[in-house]
Amino acid sequence: MGTALLGLLGPIIGGIAVALTTYWTTRPKAQAEARKFEAEADRTRAETTKILAEIDMRRPSVAPQDTTPKGWNVSGSVPEDYEVGLDFEVFAVGRSSAFIRSSHENPTGYASLVQTIKADEYRGTRLQLTAMVKARDVVGWAGIWMRVDDARDHTVAFDTMRDPERRIAGSVGWRRYRIVLDIPETGAYINFGAVMERTGQIWLDDVRVDVVDVSIPATDTIPDLPRRPVNLDFENGTY
């Protein structure tokens, strides 16, 4: 009887031993991968916070001047280092375009042409911003941008073209660029426009804001958060 029982328990005990060995040998690797994932997430959050701090185009920082296109405002870290206006000789469509250009050889920040609208009609939709942009001798970077704020001025969706793969630099002919954001139900204001940092000039024309379907991928740079709570009973172990 004892021999028979040991014969039955032997494979089970062996399986448990293998499982425990596998668990304790693979756990450090899983923990390392989890720490790597967390580090990447922290780095992404830090980069996003840095961008939001550097490109804080929340409110116009200077009053509209005679040269500011109607319906738009000028914002930026040092907007006085830049000129903003209309160009009736360089344009993509129609009769004119807007421009941002450095006013001297050593601007210390950036300037943005910005428009802010209420989010009421767009909540729950996917919104696409497109614009034609032309650049000349841009030393820093330039691009279009869009941001959604809630009623407390907290950013709930955001994208610029600041990353190296998407930014505009140097001299580029007319080209259409795109940003796509999901507008949350908490969204109160939608801000959009164009930005340029350091020397050079950009032209902006034929700006469009359209609701699109989910087949158009979103370009939000704020890190994705879980859609639902997880592990609320703490039964799924640790990293």
121 and 169 together in one domain: yes
pLDDT-derived band at 213 (thresholds 50, 70, 90) equals: very high
Q: What percent of the chain shows pLDDT beyond 70?
A: 69
7 and 88 together in one domain: no
Q: How many residues appear in the chain?
A: 239
What is the Cα–Cα distance from 114 to 157, expressed in whole angstroms? 16
- Count of domains for the chain: 2
Tell me: the pLDDT tens digits for 68-88? 999 999 988 888 899 999 999
92 and 25 together in one domain: no
What is the Cα–Cα distance from 76 to 56, expressed in whole angstroms? 7
pLDDT of amino acid 123: 96
Tell me: the pLDDT tens digits for 96-142? 999 999 998 888 889 999 999 999 999 999 999 999 999 999 999 99
Which whole number is the average pLDDT over 18-31? 56
**Does residue 9 carry a pLDDT above 60?**
no
Residue 225, in any domain of the structure: no
Residue 138, in any domain of the structure: yes
pLDDT of amino acid 5: 45
Average pLDDT score over the chain:
81
Structure token digits, residue 236 = 């799924």
pLDDT of amino acid 25: 57
27 and 131 together in one domain: no
Structure token digits, residue 20 = 């425990």
Tell me: the pLDDT tens digits for 150-175? 999 889 999 999 888 999 999 999 99
Q: Which has the closest alpha carbon to 142: 191, 65, 76?
A: 76
48 and 82 together in one domain: no
Whether 127 and 183 have beta carbons less than 8 Å apart is answered as yes
The model carries a pTM of 0.70
114 and 172 together in one domain: yes
122 and 38 together in one domain: no
Residue 105, in any domain of the structure: yes
Structure token digits, residue 179 = 């940003």
Beta bridge partners of 138: 170
191 and 113 together in one domain: yes
pLDDT of amino acid 106: 87
Structural domain boundaries enclosing 38 = 1-54
Residue 232, in any domain of the structure: no
Whether 148 and 159 have beta carbons less than 8 Å apart is answered as no
pLDDT of amino acid 80: 86
